[in-house]
Amino acid sequence: MRYEAFYQQSIDEPEQFWAAQARLIHWESPPQQILDQSNPPFRRWFVGGTTNLCYNAVDRHLVERAEQLALVAISSETDVTREFSYRELYWEVNAFAAVLRSLDVGKGDRVVIYLPNVAEAVFAMLACARIGAIHSVVFGGFAAHNLALRIDDAQPKLLIAADSGMRGGKVIPYKPLVDAALNEASAPPSQVLIVDRGLDPQMTRVAGRDLDYAGLRRAHEGVEVPVVWLESNEPSYLLYTSGTTGKPKGVQRDVGGYAVAMALSIRTVFDIAPGQVMFSTSDVGWAVGHSYNVYGPLIGGATSLLYEGTPTRPDPGIWWQLCERYGVHTMFSSPTAIRVLKKQDASWLKKYDLSALKWLFLAGEPLDEPTAQWITDALGVPVIDNYWQTETGWPAITLMPGLELKPTKFGSPGLPAPGYKMKVIDENTGKEVAAGVKGVLVFQPPLPPGCLSTVWRDDDRYVHSYFSHFRELLYSSLDWAIRDEDGYTFILGRTDDVINVAGHRLGTREIEEVVASHPSVAEAAVVGVRDELKGQVPIVFAMLKQNAGADAGAVALAMQQRVVDQLGGVAKPSRVYVVNALPKTRSGKLLRRSLQALAEQRDPGDLSTLDDPVALDDIRRALERGPDQGS
């Protein structure tokens, strides 16, 4: 079928379209109603149908592909590769599920998973899905404070953690972060299940709280755990994302709609058929990791490569070596990773047989044309940009080579995916703008299957955060965009105070709160600025308290360290400027866009509302002088 007809049916006849797609997965009992949108902007897909993500990802494949590789967990950090057929994955997931049941975890209970890209992370996610527990994976690089915030919001019965992760050959102990988070949290779980990798011989255990997974697994090896069938709209997992306030949002995903979206997208977008191999370089703690390291490929009956390490260790050819060894058909990575490889000798790309590789997908941040052109020329395969958010769960704008490959346009992720009824509108009038005119990217409800169903335990925040920006009830992506005459969309950046650092979403307000907590800081503004490698990085402009008597350089260094300690290394400000004043409007609003423009050596725009022009001059002098801390 051609893309236009496929897409248009999803918009004009959504119930007929999604009823057909629902046949891609197993239903224990069929849906009684395909779509219920009686309470917009909320909607329910496949109402009354019962299914299970784990069953669709594992059990149903045992008849036809039990001995096929399902999961390959590769660590270039520990130099260990572990391979699991669908049969072996079945038994590992059942053992993990039996361990969870022995710890009194059941349907509706939350389980926080704080693991790196190891096989046990996949086992844990699928085991939770099997018994109806709600998993919430937290990226292992997050600091204790971030982990504590997520624990308090999810209120888990159990936390699963590794002793350590590794990055660039350096051991990163997780257990001290877990202990600190549990000490800070107001609702800590009573039990912690430790996946001990043997990387931290100094790891301490809390008696009666910390349990050893390996020992419990041995005690439950060979146990089969029945699948818990869930109504389509019950929650499957929570995935936290940064907002414009300090409190993260718990994106809540359903069961049936998500399973159908994975089954559809793995075939039509990523062109993966049963038995083929997909290599996603994402961390399981991110949305891509959930959808295309774990659920998508396994629901599609494919082989998934899970990778722990960097793209350059032990050498810049490691990813291409894996592509050759396993015959990777589709690879999914980020522009940042490709920019890292771009700095290496191009001969690494010619060293291995990549004849099986058909597609390279890139997402998570805007893809610049030089990077796209370089990797396209180097690999000789199509490079497909795609746009989506943690909230959407799967690509909202993309090309669909598994259906029909449309021409690529550098700088654009392509055309809307099925079910996404999108417009680009004027931020003031709410009216759709003409082709080539900048506006806000929005989606008309109902959102398609796979998108978030609400914010965990906060329906009001769901409505306020996503649907309250315009008079018409529209989901705002909070991204600027332009659509051309052919319907291709070009993403231009955020409309709010969230920045994208190497594919990681960070709220600038979160960083500001941490920076401003330093006793010598009177006020601070954080903005995201362009960066050649990471896409964007945060920088700080800070005013010190009068008569504080503090050394600017020392305070700037301390501010950076506070951010690392509370939010993690990924949020570390690239540069800190200590200034005498911050530019504000006469009503007291910080002119963040002007600060960003000056930092990027652009026109700061309309300054007619500026209260004190001297403040802007001070910013210019600080930028000319150079940062008090940072490169």
Residues 435 and 519 both lie in one domain: no
Q: How confident is the model over 153-168, as pLDDT tens digits? A: 999 999 999 999 998 8
pLDDT of residue 506: 76
CA–CA dist 526, 515 (Å, integer): 9
pTM: 0.84
Q: Are residues 131 and 229 in the same domain?
A: yes
Residues 424 and 507 in one domain: no
Confidence band for 611, pLDDT divided at 50, 70 and 90: low
For the segment 345-371, the average pLDDT, to the nearest whole number, is 87
In a domain, 363, yes or no: no
Q: What is the DSSP string of 419-450?
A: T-EEEEE-TTT-PBPPTT--EEEEEESSPPTT
| 537, 528 Cβ separation under 8 angstroms | yes
- Percentage with pLDDT > 70 across the chain: 95
Could you say which of 444, 462, 480 is where a domain stops? 444
Cα dist. 19→9, 256, 357, 433, 436 in Å?
12, 12, 32, 33, 36
Looking at residue 368, the DSSP 8-state letter turns out to be P
In the Cβ-directed half-sphere of 193, how many Cα atoms lie within 13 Å? 27
CATH number at residue 145: 3.40.50.12780
- Token reading at 64: 């036809």
Do both 75 and 182 map to the same domain?
yes
What's the pLDDT at 199? 95
Residues 212 and 301 placed together within one structural domain of the fold: yes
Tell me the pLDDT tens digit for each residue of 189-246.
Answer: 999 999 999 999 999 999 999 999 999 999 999 999 999 999 999 999 999 986 555 6
CA 116, CA 135: separation in Å to the nearest integer?
15
Q: At 81, is the secondary structure helix, strand, or coil?
A: strand
My answer on whether 88 and 166 are in the same domain is: yes
Residue among 344, 353, 335 at smallest CA distance from 281: 335
Which residues are CB-contacts of 554 (< 8 A; sequence separation ≥ 6)? none
| For residue 430, pLDDT beyond 80 | yes
User: How large is the average pLDDT for residues 349-353?
Assistant: 91
Q: Which two tokens stand for residue 79?
A: 């130099």
In a domain, 552, yes or no: yes
Residue 537 has pLDDT above 50, yes or no: yes
Provide mean pLDDT across the span 404-416. 93
Does one domain contain both 415 and 521? no
- Residues 280-315 have pLDDT tens digits of 999 999 999 999 999 999 999 999 999 999 999 999
CA dist., res. 320 & res. 360, Å (int): 12
For residue 589, what pLDDT band results from cuts at 50, 70 and 90? low
Residue 380 counted as domain residue:
no
pLDDT at 13 exceeding the cut of 70: yes
Rounded Cα distance, 15 and 21, in Å: 10
415 within some domain: yes
If one counts every other C-beta atom within 10 angstroms of the C-beta of residue 244, the result is 16
* Range of weakest confidence among 43-47, 87-91, 216-220, 538-542: 538-542
> How far, in Å, CA of 335 to CA of 319, rounded?
15
In whole angstroms, what is the distance from residue 405 CA to residue 396 CA? 16
466 inside domain = no
Does 369 map to a domain?
no
What confidence category does residue 352 fall into, taking pLDDT thresholds of 50, 70 and 90?
Answer: very high
Among 401, 414, 402, 400, smallest CA distance to 372 is for 414
Which 3 state secondary structure label does DSSP give 561? helix
Burial 577-587 (b: 16+ CB within 10 A, else e): bbbebbbbeee
- Under DSSP, is residue 489 helix (H, G, I), strand (E, B) or coil? strand
Q: Where are the alpha helices (DSSP H) in 13-160?
A: 14-21, 53-57, 62-65, 86-102, 119-131, 144-154
351: in domain: no
pLDDT tens by residue, 101-112:
999 999 999 999
Number of independent structural domains in the chain: 2
End-to-end Cα, the chain, rounded Å: 52
CATH number for the domain harbouring residue 595: 3.30.300.30
Output the pLDDT for position 606: 58
Same domain, 301 and 399: yes
Q: What domain range is 277 assigned to?
A: 3-309+386-444
* pLDDT 10s digits, 121-141: 999 999 999 999 999 999 886
Q: Average pLDDT, whole number, for the chain? A: 91
Q: Tokens in use for 628? A: 């008090």
Tokens of 474: 């529209």
Interstrand relation of 110-114 and 230-231 (parallel, antiparallel or unpaired): unpaired
Other residues' Cβ atoms within 10 Å of the Cβ of residue 607: 13
pLDDT digits 0-9 by tens, 233-268: 999 999 998 655 567 899 999 999 999 999 999 999
| 8 Å CB contact between 132 and 108 | yes
Is residue 396 included in any domain, yes or no?
A: yes
Q: Is the predicted pLDDT of residue 549 greater than 70, yes or no?
A: no
How much of the chain, in percent, has pLDDT values that exceed 90?
70
428 pLDDT above the threshold of 50: yes
Same domain for 400 and 301: yes
Q: Is the pLDDT of residue 587 over 50?
A: no
β-pair partners for 421: 444
Question: Cβ contacts of residue 18 below 8 Å, gap of 6+?
Answer: 10, 34, 35, 45, 46, 260, 419, 448, 449
Spacing of C-alpha 195 from chain mean position:
23
Highest mean pLDDT among 137-151, 402-416, 536-550: 402-416
Lowest mean pLDDT among 248-252, 358-362, 506-510: 506-510
Does one domain contain both 271 and 159? Answer: yes
Cis peptide before 314 (omega within 30 of 0): yes
pLDDT of 496 strictly over 80: no
Whether residues 282 and 420 fall in one domain: yes
- Are residues 116 and 214 located together in one domain of the fold? yes
CA dihedral angle for residue 419, residue 424, residue 425, residue 427, rounded to 10 degrees:
110
Return d(Cα 569, Cα 29) in angstroms, integer. 46
